[in-house]
Amino acid sequence: MNDLTFYANRTVLITGGLGFIGSNLARRLVDLGARVTLVDSLIPDYGGNRFNIASYEDRLCVNLADVRDPHAMRALVQGQELLFNLAGQVSHIDSMTDPFSDLEINARAQLSILEACRHENPDIKVVYAGTRQQYGKPQYLPLDERHLQHPTDVNGVNKLAGEWYHIVYHTAYGLRTASLRLTNTYGPRQLMQHNRQGFIGWFIRLAVEGKEIQLYGDGRQLRDLNYVDDVVDAFLRVGVSDASNGQVYNLGGDMPVSLYDLAHLLVEIAGQGSVRLVPWPEERKRIDIGDVYSSYAALEASLGWRPTTSLRDGLARTVAYYREHWPHYWS
Amino acid sequence: MNDLTFYANRTVLITGGLGFIGSNLARRLVDLGARVTLVDSLIPDYGGNRFNIASYEDRLCVNLADVRDPHAMRALVQGQELLFNLAGQVSHIDSMTDPFSDLEINARAQLSILEACRHENPDIKVVYAGTRQQYGKPQYLPLDERHLQHPTDVNGVNKLAGEWYHIVYHTAYGLRTASLRLTNTYGPRQLMQHNRQGFIGWFIRLAVEGKEIQLYGDGRQLRDLNYVDDVVDAFLRVGVSDASNGQVYNLGGDMPVSLYDLAHLLVEIAGQGSVRLVPWPEERKRIDIGDVYSSYAALEASLGWRPTTSLRDGLARTVAYYREHWPHYWS
């Protein structure tokens, strides 16, 4: 069942709640009448941003805490009916320069959150944010959930571990957990301060600033993208559904797009900026994983989810948002 | 190439070197002329046992240290040509009662060992001991390396992470790493003090003690087993081979055997003990994963490895070993 009126008066905890997806989810849940508590530690450069809940501050509760704090988490999960577990270190680059912080946040903290749920609130529903990065370099396309997980960076390994703790706690203890493996998500409230969290936010910023977007090689690498409202809708549907317990589902875009076409579409929508092809830097070419996009067929079959925002519409809304609010996102 | 004369005068570090497989590997390496250093922390109940290197004490170096100690490991990897990375928490049961120790040893310490190698000794060859437990409940048999990893306990998740750190450090940094996914290994020098490290050691102890072996249900669950000398041979072959870098290989037995037939064979070989079928305890039935056995075809194709010790011969040697030395293994 996908009746989102379910959320009226529900108690909902969101880790990473001041971040990109967490804050969009929080706003939607407040609109649906949920009683929402956000957990965020506002680590600089990670994506948490108080402006993300602008005009909603009085209708939800913000609890500043780090998911690595087992005592805080143990208290915070009590009395909650749902947990959207979105806190994470999401930069692949940072995971290689500081692998232990990535492990502590993306693996160890997840285990400690699940222990807290098991002991303090075994009836809670937990929805985790995994990533298509867990698959690594594709062996076939589109990526489905039967594709082997061959992560190519420390972040991918730790996200994989974090996800599988969730599934193990379902198998072993009956905890009602599920995971969504996200692809490239874009939209309002995304981190734009630096370019270490993926290409799409950075491309959008360059377009809004009227700058040049540089693409490696011929720019023909294919990617899929989801507008954040569609991702929020997926989390909400999984949160309602007991059929999702113990399950893992890909998200995915409707149609893969080349970076070349994407960048040109952005420049067209922004009415400014430019695109330039540059040669592959040797060290980037070596770790390039080529075309990557995912199939959301399993989630559609199970819960009827599919993305409903076209790339053009989503980018237009995103560009408009940052035109208005950019000083809250970069300096 | 599989010429094990390669090991003469090589410097070799073995983590978990006083444990079951580590000590058998160490003895073989000493016989091959290698200069062997063992790292072990002798954590009670984990399997490290000084008696395992009886009569070899003067021909190798024992360094008591915990793989969770990044400073010790950073110093220990220096000057080593090979690292057989076998230290681990191997009890699935213990991983559920103490998931954080399991994470620290099987995941975090692995990351810290790899960081040590990358910074201090980037030319070292590292061979990791993974486990078929990473696959979880089989979706088809025999398990090959293309089977999805669906671990069913915290130990399986952490072993998976530990293995993939190794592969990532090959992909990203060119570190010469490989992983063997072990199935049920048995033989001399195995932990026999308790039954939390798998069934085979415990069955052997019961037979040697002339006690009753209890099997759940009809005892027809199939398993495969490897005699420890064959496992040691696999590690040695992978250690020599650069074709194995970045690769993951299953080990596996030649023929799956039912627990019923295995237990009766053990009783026959021991000339004592008995077998009894008992009903499944409800909580065990729920987490039973049915038949499990692995294919070693990939390792055979790549490095020519196959097990050479028959189950009957291996069990006979094992029973003889514990008949002579049991006071060093249980009290």
B163-209 per-position pLDDT tens digit: 999 999 999 999 999 999 999 999 999 999 998 888 999 999 999 99
Tell me the pTM.
0.95
Amino acid code (one letter) for A80 = Q
- State whether ipTM is beyond 0.90: yes
CA atoms within 13 A on the CB side of B73: 26
Judged by CB atoms closer than 8 Å, whether chains meet at B103 and A111 is answered as yes
| pLDDT (0 to 100) of residue B288 | 79
Handedness of CA B218, B221, B222, B223 (dihedral sign): negative
Residues of chain A with confidence (pLDDT) below 70 = 1-2
Rounded CA-CA distance B289/B224 in Å is: 14
pLDDT digits (tens, 9 = 90+) for A158-171: 999 999 999 999 99
| pLDDT (0 to 100) of residue A286 | 73
Q: Of A172, A164, A231, nearest to A24 (Cα)?
A: A231
Segments in A90-153 forming alpha helices (H): 92-97, 99-103, 109-120
Q: Of A56, A70, A59, nearest to A115 (Cα)?
A: A70
Distance from CA of A173 to the nearest CA of B (A): 10
Rounded CA-CA distance A104/A108 in Å is: 5
Q: Reply yes or no: is the peptide bond before residue A142 cis, omega within 30 of 0.
A: yes
> Could you say which of B103, B148, B154 has the minimum Cβ distance to residue A148?
B148
Q: Of B154, B156, B110, nearest to B133 (Cα)?
A: B156
- The structural domains of chain A, ordered by start, are 8-186+226-251+295-304 (3.40.50.720)
Judged by CB atoms closer than 8 Å, whether chains meet at B171 and A287 is answered as yes
Using a CB-CB cut-off of 8 Å, the residues of chain B touching A161 are 107, 157-158, 160-161
Judged by CB atoms closer than 8 Å, whether chains meet at B99 and A107 is answered as no
> Could you say which of A148, A158, A167 has the minimum Cβ distance to residue B161?
A158
Rounded CA-CA distance B123/B117 in Å is: 8
Rounded CA-CA distance A172/A170 in Å is: 6
Which stretch of DSSP H or E encloses residue A71?
A: helix A70-76
Segments in chain B forming alpha helices (H): 20-31, 70-76, 92-97, 99-103, 109-120, 154-173, 199-208, 228-240, 259-270, 282-287, 297-303, 311-325
> Could you say which of B107, B152, B168 has the minimum Cβ distance to residue A107?
B107
| pLDDT (0 to 100) of residue B210 | 97
- 3-class secondary structure, A270: helix
| pLDDT (0 to 100) of residue B2 | 67
Using a CB-CB cut-off of 8 Å, the residues of chain B touching A107 are 103, 107, 161
| pLDDT (0 to 100) of residue A2 | 67
Rounded CA-CA distance A177/A193 in Å is: 33
Show which residues on chain A lie within 8 Å of chain B, measured between beta carbons.
Answer: 96, 99-100, 103, 107-108, 111-112, 115, 146, 148-154, 156-158, 160-161, 164-165, 167-168, 171-172, 287
Residues of chain B with confidence (pLDDT) below 70 = 1-2
Nearest chain A alpha carbon to B98: A115
Nearest chain A alpha carbon to B153: A168
Distance from CA of B51 to the nearest CA of A (A): 35
| pLDDT (0 to 100) of residue A138 | 96
Judged by CB atoms closer than 8 Å, whether chains meet at B160 and A165 is answered as no
Locus of tokens 């040109």: A264
